[in-house]
Structure 1
Amino acid sequence: MKSEDYIQQAYRCILQNDFVEAIRLFEEAISLNPLDAEIYYKCSITYARNNRLVKGIEYAERALHLAPKKVVYQLYLQHLKAMYLVQESKKQMDQLQSTSVIDLYKAVSSLKEAIELDPLYGEAYVCLALAYSELNEHATAIATLKEALFLLPAEQGLDKLLEQLKTKFKDYMNDSIIE
C-alpha cells in the first residue's frame, strides 16, 4: 500500500471516532514517507483528539521542522502547547486543598504563557480567571473572565461564573472593610 492509502483509511477511522487505529495508520504512512510534513501534522491532530497532547506536540514539532515556513504548523503547535499548559494548570488547581499560593502563582504564570501562545484560546482565560479568584485577586479575575466571554460568547455558564466572581469580590471587599 502507498502512504495515501493509509491516510485514507485513517480518515475513515477518524469518522468512526477510532483514533487509536487512525494513529496506527498515520504511523504506517509516516514509515513509508518519513519526510512528508503533512502526514506528521495530520497524525499530530489525531493524537491531540485522542487526548495525547505530548505526542501531538512531538509530531507537530516534526511537521514544523520539515516545513518551517508553513505558518499553519506553527500556529497549531502553539495551540497544542497552550492546551498542554492549561491542562497541567487545571490538574494543579484541582488539587486546591494541597495547592499553595506559590503553586497558584505558577499556574497563573503557565496560563499567561498559554494565552501568549494562543490568544484566542478561551479556556485559558477561564482557568486564569479562576486562579486569580483563588488568589483573592478578584478584580483581575473578573477582567480576565470578561475577555473569555468576548472570545466565547455562546459558552454556557460563563455569565453565571462572572456573577459568582463579582459576588466573591464584593464579599472580599466587605470583609476587608470590616477588618
Structure 2
Amino acid sequence: MSPEDYVRQAYRCILRSDFAEAILCFEAAISESPGDAEVRYRCSITYARNGRLDKAIEHALAAVALDGSKPEYTLHLQHLQALTLVHEAKGLLEAEGKGSKNPYRPITLLKEAVMLDPLNGDAYVWLALAYSRMNEHLQAIAALKEVISLHPDDAGLRQLMKDLQKSLQKYMQ
C-alpha cells in the first residue's frame, strides 16, 4: 500500500474509534515515507488522543524538524509539552508530603506549561493550587483569574476562587 492508502485506512479506523489500529496505519505510512511531516503530525495527534504522550511528542518533534514552517506543528508540540509538564507537576504536588526536595519545582513546571500553552486551563488551576500551598495566595488568585477568563461559566472555578480568597483572608490575619 502507498502512504496515502495507509492514511486513508487510519482515518477509517478513527471513524470506527479504533485508535490502536489507526496508529498502526499511521506508523506503516511513516515507514513508507519517513520524511512526511504531515503524517507524523497526524500520527502524533492520534497518539495523544490515545493517552500516549511519549510517542505523541516523538512524532510531533519529528514533524517540526521536517517542516518547521507550519505553525500548527509547533503549537501541537507545545501543547503536548505543556501536558507533560502539568502531569509532572501534579505528581510532585500529590507526593508533596513525602519529603519533596524543592517545593517550588511544581510552580516552575506549571509556569513553563502556561508559557507553552496559554490556553491550558489545567495548568492554571494546578498553578493556583501550587501557589496556595506555598502561601502565595495573591499569585494563586491571579492564576485562577486567568483560567476563569478562559472558562467564565465554570462554577467549580468560581468556588475555588472563593476558597482561595478565604485562605488569603486567614493568612492575612
Q: RMSD across aligned C-alpha pairs, in angstroms?
A: 1.4
Q: Is the aligned partner of 1:74 residue 2:74?
A: yes
| Residue in structure 1 matched with residue 144 of structure 2 by the alignment | 145
* Percent identical residues: 53
Report the secondary structure of 1:139's partner residue. helix
Q: Which residue of 2 aligns with 1:166?
A: 165
Deviation at 1:173, TM superposition (A): 1.8
2:103 match: secondary structure: helix
Structure 1 residue 156: Cα displacement: 4.4
- Distance (Å, rounded) in 1 between the aligned partners of 2:155 and 2:163: 14
The change in CA–CA distance for 1:47 and 1:157 in structure 2 (over 3 A counts) is same
Q: Is the 8 A contact 1:64 1:74 kept in 2?
A: yes
SS of 1:97's partner is: helix
Shift of 1:105: 0.5
How many residue pairs get aligned? The number is 173
C-alpha displacement of 1:99? 5.0
Gaps of 5+ in 1: 175-179
> Which TM-score applies when normalising by structure 2?
0.93
Q: State the Cα deviation string for residues 49-93 of structure 1 (Å, max 9, x = none).
A: 111112111100101111121111111111111111011111111
Counterpart residue identity of residue 97, structure 2: Q
Query: Which residue of 2 is the match for residue 114 of structure 1?
Result: 113
Q: Distance in 2 between matches of 1:85 and 1:154?
A: 26
Partner residue in 2 for 1:58: 58
Letter aligned with residue 135 of structure 2: N
Mapped pair 1:128 → 2:127: yes
Residues 142 and 166, structure 1, Cα contact 8 Å, conserved in 2 = yes
Does 104-113 or 146-155 show the bigger shift? Answer: 146-155
The letter of the residue matching 1:152 is: H
SS at structure 2 position matched to 1:103? coil
Query: Which has the higher mean CA deviation after the structures are superposed, 8-17 or 110-119?
Result: 8-17
Mapped to 2, the partners of 1:155 and 1:87 lie a distance apart of 22
1:60–1:73 Cα contact (<8 Å) kept: yes
Runs of 4+ in structure 1 displaced over 4 angstroms?
none
Report the AA paired with residue 86 of structure 2: V
The 8 Å contact of residues 23 and 47 in structure 1, kept in 2 or not, is answered as yes
